[in-house]
Each structure stands twice: as structure tokens, then as C-alpha cells.
Chains A and B, each alone.
Chain A
Amino acid sequence: MSPAPRARRRSGSERAETKLTTETELTTETELTRQSPAWPQVSFQDLMATVEFRVGQRAHITVNSDVCRSCTTKDCVTACPADLFAPTSDGGILFSYEQCFECGTCYQVCNSEGAITWTYPDGGDGVVFRHG
């Protein structure tokens, strides 16, 4: 980004409330296109890094891997939007609670009674959505 278009854009956005010039728009669009010529691939780690988690001491969800070993579908693994259920080599499940959205998908899709013990994090802990 050269300094010139930046300055133009700033002066443009000051006027944005009343009148948008074509030039301002083109500049902004051009800048955006230059920043990302192709569709940007955001890694899942980067996606999760955008979310605020106030991680508590207590694991609010626990998984009994012994129960999971007899589960043939393991729906939690693909359905959890935070990707917190990892299959282990011995056929069980390794779960980490720190980046949980507290959505409830896992226990809703789980067919194995006793596999998932689900509670909310302690008051004030857990996910904090700013733009939900």
C-alpha cells in the first residue's frame, strides 16, 4: 500500500456519511484486492484464535473414553464446531475443554450413554462472544 491512496481513503471516509466519491470506492476496493489476490485460506487454528476464552480451572465437560471405544459412529469428532474431540489410536476419544463454545452439539449427537458429562463452565469462565 502506497501512502498516497491511504491518505485519499482517510479523507474519503470522513466524507463517507454524506457523499462517497467513485474514486474513494475504487481505491478501497483496489487495496482490498491487492491484499488478497486469491481467496484467503484461513487455518482452523487462526479461526479459533479469533475467539476469546476465559479458561477456567475445572474441565466443565469430561469424556469417558472407555465408553467411546465401543462407539462406532463417533459423531462428536466431526460435528463439534471447535474440533475438540480427537480419536485416539486405541479407539477412544481425547477431549480438551479449553476452547469450547459451550454449544451442546456433542452431547446432543452422542449415542453412547455416559460418554459425555456436560456442564457449563463456572460463572464468568469460558467463551466470550463479542460479535455474536
Chain B
Amino acid sequence: MPSELLDAIVVGAGPAGAAAALELARAGRSVVLLERGPFPGAKNVYGGVVYGRVLDNVIPRWWEQVPVQRWVVRRSTMMLTGSQALSVDFRSEAWGTVPYNGMTVYRGDFDSWLAGHAVAAGAELVTSTVATGLLRDEHGAVTGVRTDRPGGELRARAVIACDGVNSFLAKEAGLLPQAAASHHTLGVKEVLDLPAPVIEERFGLGPHQGVDIEMLGATGCIPGGGFLYTNADTVSVGIVVSLPGLARAKVRPEQLIADLKAHPAIAPYLRGSSVREYSAHLIPEGGYDAIPRLAVDGMLVAGDAAGLCLAAGLWLEGVNFAIGSGLAAGRAVTRAIGAGDTSARGLASYRRDLESGFVLADHKRLRRAPGLVLSDRIQQRYPGLLCDLAEGVFTVTNPRPKPGLLRLARRSAQRNGVRVSELLRDAAAGARVFR
């Protein structure tokens, strides 16, 4: 590893780190990109869709070379009870052609691809190396990192911590609390083998086309959700649950997936499949109000390390926010070095950049969404209410005449323990949160 003073050290070669290193290398800055896994993406898990448009101005015609599994042309939101399912299912041919909307990927492939662009631009990727702590000067400013390589101290004008949801560098710098269970969810996923023609038949897809199904009411008494999405010759199925909820419920995570896989609306999709890989990862879902200070003297944080996953019910995004913040961090460090000031003040353009772009604009707009989406009525009562309403509407009870929608709605609300006043209040809250 280099012993001279670098311009920047980027810790973590996930999408945030690769994007940061790419910006710095393209600006002609010396940058080392550290990765603790044997290859970029080896430690990473995601839950459904990577939205690639953030790369439009970074890697022209990225869609021609990105290691995609399937282009998502179908997006479905499903509300489940033990024996019912109500879906809102949307598909668009536009999503299956340039410039595309979302894609499914394997993170080992995708993250390695993006990091490869940073390397091609001149960044030095060092894998199988953990950044174990920060180096600081007598004033406390970050001057580099310690690594677990012999003699592995690295010094730089700036450090960008893209070391993920557990970011020990952000914790050491005092930016993140040591633990904050209520700001995190656990994602658990099974990747299941299914032949490509079977996937296309069962999900109504053409070759290279994919679906992403998000589910509410799929996690029993624990706040959270389920997901199912298609890869080339596998499907990924899993659940995301609030950590405090999981701890309280005393239910094993793999049991939640097993229950979801056995649900009458899901099981037929998965029949005959076998497990290729099981995985688990934490997700920072605290939203805008849990996002830490983003800069200290000599260091920025980006991606999951900065809590930038957007978990807003309708929108569940993370990789694009990681890339967006990584690019901005790389630009900010480039500017700060040019101006000869990498103090927190010199790096302050990072936050301004994020606020004027989608990363913090979306988070700020949707700051109340995580709380609403994980609230008791949305989680425990509305899926049943809507399923009962649909069952009432579409069940023909001849020789009795149809009961009328208003009566059905009132009955469904009553049966699921929801008062009309609560319905109105939640509708108003929803309108405010998603305005």
C-alpha cells in the first residue's frame, strides 16, 4: 500500500465508495479504495431494485455494460392476510427499454462493476483489508486510517467513510451512536433457483424482463414488509423487519421467510425451487431525522454509513442514494483539496450539494414516511381492512342483493378494529407525508 500522503482514502467499495473514488480519480486525485471483503459487494445485500439513472452523466450508456439480472417492467404492491391477497400491479413497456427504470442485480457483480470504473479512472482498489480505526492529528482532525495489514497506516488529505450501515468510522468520529435499534431494520433473503423460462411463465415476463413485488402484512405482528423479485434464473424472496419489533416478537427470521414462502398467494410462484443462497443485512431506515452530521475535519460519510436508505413505503431505495451521495462526497473532497481546506468547513459543500439534489431533497420531503409506514394501523389493520373490503366487493352473495360499498367499507373497518375517525386522520397524515 502507498506510504506517501494520498489525496483521499475511501473506505468501503460498495456503490457509495466506488462512486466517490470514481469522482476523485477522474479529477486527477490520488485515491485508495479500501474493501474488507475479497471483492466489492461480497458483504452486501439489497432488497429488490437498483435505479440506474443516477449514472446517466457518470457512465454514458451504462445500461449497455451494467451486469443486470433483469430489467424491472412490473412493480406490484401486495397486501396480505393469512388467507387473502390484494395486489396493485403496474407494468410498463417503457421500463424495459432505454434508458430503463430499475434493474435487479447480484451485488457482487454490480458493486465490482462500479468499482472497476473507479479503478479504470485511476483509483487503487485494495481488497481484503479492514479499516480498523481513524488516524487523527493533535486537533482531532482525521488524517487517515489504520488497517489490519502489517504497517498498514494510510494517510490522506481526506477520508470518505462508505463503510456501510454499521460504520465504525462514523461511530469513532462521534457521528453515529454506538447502537440505535429503532433506526434499523433487518433484511433476510433467500435466493431460489428457478429456470428462466419458468420464471417468465409464472410472472408473465419476457426474456430479460423482471418483476418486483413488495408486500405489506407479510411479517405477522412485526412491523416490516416482504419482497419477491426476479433474477435471470433465480428469484429472491425475503422480509424486512424492524429490529425492536423482531426482538420483542421472539420469532426467528428464517421462520418469517418460511411463512411468507408458504402463503397461498406466494407459494405457487416458488413451487419446485431450491435455495441457492441465504443472506441477511441491516438497513438504516431512520430517514431524514436519523441522518447524522455528514462531515468532521478531514472526513465525510456517505451511503448507508450516513443512513441514506430511503424507506418510504411507496419508495424503497438505497443503492441510488449511495451512488448519489458518493459522487457528491468525491466532488466535495476534490473542491476542498483544490481550495487547500479539508476541515469540516472546507467540506461543507457536500451537504449543500446533497440538499440541492435528490439525496437529501427526497429524504427531507419524506421525513415522516418511515414512522407512518411502520405504524400499527398501516402494518396490522389496513391490509386486513382492504382485503376484507375487496372480498366483500367481489363476493356474489345471491340470492341476497349486493350490500353497497359504504356498508362494506364500514363493516371491513369494524372487523379490523379501525374507526372511521382514524381512517380519516391517517388519510390526512398520508396526504401530508407524501405530498
Contact = CB atoms under 8 A, between A and B. Distances in A.
Interface of A: 12-13, 16-17, 20, 24-25, 28-29, 31-33, 35-36, 39-40, 42, 44, 46-48, 50-51, 54, 73, 75, 78-79, 81-83, 101-105, 107-110, 119-124, 126-132
B414 interface: no
Interface in B336-377: none
Contact of B267 (A35, A39, A48, A83): A39
B196 A48 contact: no
A129 B280 CA distance: 10
A105 B279 contact: no
Contact of A131 (B148, B191, B246): B191
Interface string B22-47: 00000000000000111001111110
B252 A83 contact: yes
Contacts of B91: none
8 contacts: A13-B197, A32-B194, A47-B190, A47-B278, A129-B41, A129-B107, A132-B43, A132-B189
Contact of A129 (B44, B197, B201, B271): B44
Contacts of A47: 190, 254, 275, 278
A103 to B, nearest CB: 5
B380 interface: no
Given A33-B271, A81-B254, A108-B180, A132 B197 contact: no
Contacts of A48: 278
B108 A129 contact: yes
Nearest to A124: B128
Interface in B106-131: 106-108, 127-130
Contact of A132 (B108, B250, B271): B108
Given A50-B276, A79-B243, A129 B45 contact: yes
A108 B243 contact: yes
A131 B129 contact: no
B200 interface: yes
A79 B198 contact: no
Given A79-B246, A108-B180, A109-B244, 12 more contacts: A28-B197, A31-B272, A46-B275, A51-B278, A83-B252, A104-B165, A104-B166, A107-B179, A120-B168, A129-B279, A131-B231, A131-B276
A103 B334 CA distance: 32
Interface in B51-90: none
B186 A39 contact: no
Given A79-B243, A129-B108, A132-B45, A104 B282 contact: yes
A46 to B, nearest CB: 7
A123 B36 contact: yes
Nearest to A73: B247
- Interface of chain B, main secondary structure: mixed
Nearest to A127: B43
- 10 smallest CB-CB distances across A and B, nearest first, come from A32-B272, A124-B128, A81-B280, A75-B247, A132-B45, A123-B128, A132-B107, A123-B129, A131-B191, A109-B247
Nearest to A16: B197
Contact of A130 (B108, B180, B253): B108
A29 B201 contact: yes
Contact of A128 (B37, B231, B254, B261): B37
Contacts, number: 170
A108 B278 contact: no
B254 A32 contact: no
Contacts of A130: 106, 108, 277
Interface in B200-244: 200-201, 207, 231, 234, 236, 243-244
Contacts of A104: 165-166, 184, 282
A81 B186 contact: yes
Nearest to A125: B128
B244 to A, nearest CB: 7
A131 B46 CA distance: 10
B420 interface: no
A14 B282 CA distance: 40
B251 interface: yes
Interface in B257-311: 258, 261-262, 267, 271-282
Contacts of B43: 102, 126-127, 129, 132
A6 B281 CA distance: 38
A17 B208 CA distance: 9
Given A82-B280, A132-B106, A16 B196 contact: yes
Given A73-B247, A127-B43, A110 B272 contact: no
B130 A28 contact: no
Interface string B148-187: 1100000000000000011010000000000111001010
Nearest to A105: B186
Contact of B247 (A40, A79, A81): A79
